[in-house]
């Protein structure tokens, strides 16, 4: 790992010994100021972080963290998309949250030195960076901005977990789909309500403990009624109030049993 005068980190992966001509090592340059947790920090602090970072690639479906594993690193997602999942006692996956570029993860085990609380899997080819635990703790302890951002992130995570527990308590599968879509939607500057990166049907099914086919049927019902509209990777909520109204329909009106 080398650093440049600007707050960037560069990582070159070494090729194994080989008598044949070797390809040039791959080099990654990261602008640490673009990572929300590190934005605005002094250049000296960023250079110290850059000198400790390790950069890794993950293929689609590859596990990056395992529940119960040791919390040796704080991790940053640089590109791609990840999902945090938990495994129920009967062996089923339950989706907890998605991670997008700029997000950090693994902070709980870094803070309390206890085993990882969830498994993190790559939803698509991804690039991520690892900051060793001692460097991460030094960053938290000596930079109030970092600590404050982490406190706010932890509070938001508690609220999100509470919302997901409420959704999982809904007995009707279609209503769980509708509740999750409402939870994921956000109003943009133009007033349009959208889910910018709609999870796949399989990812949604894991999050709300139902089948992919049920998710597909539930969304198709909304499309047919003009409540939502698909637009490439995003879902436009044309009638937000109508979507919320679906949550109050009686079970018989949804024509879909719980799984």
pLDDT surpassing 60 at residue 19: no
pLDDT in tens, 53-87: 999 999 999 999 999 999 999 999 999 999 888 87
Residue 1: predicted pLDDT: 41
* Whether the Cβ atoms of residue 119 and residue 66 lie closer than 8 Å to each other: yes
pLDDT score of 6: 46
Q: Structure tokens of 176?
A: 């769980």
> How much of the chain, in percent, has pLDDT values that exceed 70?
83
- pTM of the model as a whole: 0.67
User: What is the model's pLDDT at position 249?
Assistant: 54
| DSSP code for 248 | T
Between 117 and 2, the higher pLDDT residue: 117
Which token pair is 73? 């690193």
Residue 190: the pLDDT is 86
Q: State the pLDDT at residue 28.
A: 75
Asked whether the beta carbons of 84 and 160 are under 8 A apart, the reply is no
Q: What is the pLDDT of residues 217-242, one digit of tens each?
A: 999 999 999 999 998 888 999 999 99
CATH (residue range 170-254): 1.10.10.10
| Residue 16: per-residue pLDDT | 45
What percent of the chain has pLDDT above 90?
52
CATH of span 2-167: 2.60.120.10
Q: How confident is the model at residue 15 (pLDDT cuts 50, 70, 90)?
A: very low
Q: What angle do CA 170, 175, 180 make, to 5 degrees?
A: 90
Determine phi and psi for 120, rounding to 5 degrees.
-120, 125
- φ, ψ of residue 209 to 5 degrees: the values are 60, 55
Domain assignments of the chain as residue spans, ordered by start:
2-167, 170-254
pLDDT of residue 96: 75
Q: pLDDT digit string (tens) for 107-151?
A: 999 999 999 988 999 999 999 999 999 999 999 999 999 999 999
Question: For the packed helices 212-224 and 201-208, what is the interaxial angle rounded to 10 degrees?
Answer: 110
* 175 alpha-carbon distance from chain centroid: 23
The mean-pLDDT minimum among 11-25, 82-96, 100-114 falls in 11-25
- Give the per-residue pLDDT at 26: 72
Of 74, 70, 62, 65, nearest to 35 by C-alpha is: 74
Enclosing H/E stretch for 28: strand 27-31
pLDDT band (50, 70, 90) for residue 160: confident
Across the chain, what does the average pLDDT equal?
84
Distance CA 133, CA 209 (A): 34
Taking residues 15-29, what's their average pLDDT?
Answer: 60
What are the tokens at 181? 């879509």
Model confidence at 90, pLDDT cuts 50, 70, 90, reads low
pLDDT of 91 higher than 70: no
């Amino acid at each position: 790992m080398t650093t440049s005068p600007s707050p960037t980190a560069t990582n070159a992966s070494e090729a194994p010994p080989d008598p044949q001509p070797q390809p040039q090592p791959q080099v990654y340059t990261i602008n640490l100021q673009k990572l929300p947790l590190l934005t605005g920090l002094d250049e000296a602090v960023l250079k110290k972080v850059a000198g400790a970072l390790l950069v890794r690639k993950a293929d689609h479906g590859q596990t990056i963290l395992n529940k119960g594993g040791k919390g040796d690193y704080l991790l940053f997602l640089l590109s791609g998309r990840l999902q945090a999942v938990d495994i129920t006692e009967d062996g089923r996956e339950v989706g907890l949250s998605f991670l997008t570029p700029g997000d950090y993860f693994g902070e709980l085990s870094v803070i309390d030195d206890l085993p990882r609380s969830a498994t993190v899997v790559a939803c698509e080819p991804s690039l991520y960076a690892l900051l060793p635990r001692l460097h991460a703790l030094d960053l938290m302890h000596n930079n109030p901005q970092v600590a404050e951002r982490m406190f706010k992130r932890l509070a938001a995570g508690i609220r999100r977990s509470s919302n997901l527990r409420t959704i999982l308590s809904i007995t009707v599968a279609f209503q769980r789909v509708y509740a999750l879509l409402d939870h994921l939607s956000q109003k943009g500057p133009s007033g349009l309500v959208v889910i910018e990166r709609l999870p796949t049907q399989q990812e949604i099914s894991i999050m709300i403990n139902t089948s992919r086919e049920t998710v597909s049927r539930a969304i198709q019902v909304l499309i047919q009624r003009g409540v939502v509209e698909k637009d490439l990777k995003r879902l436009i909520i044309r009638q937000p109030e109508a979507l919320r109204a679906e949550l109050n329909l009686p079970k018989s009106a949804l024509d879909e049993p719980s799984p």
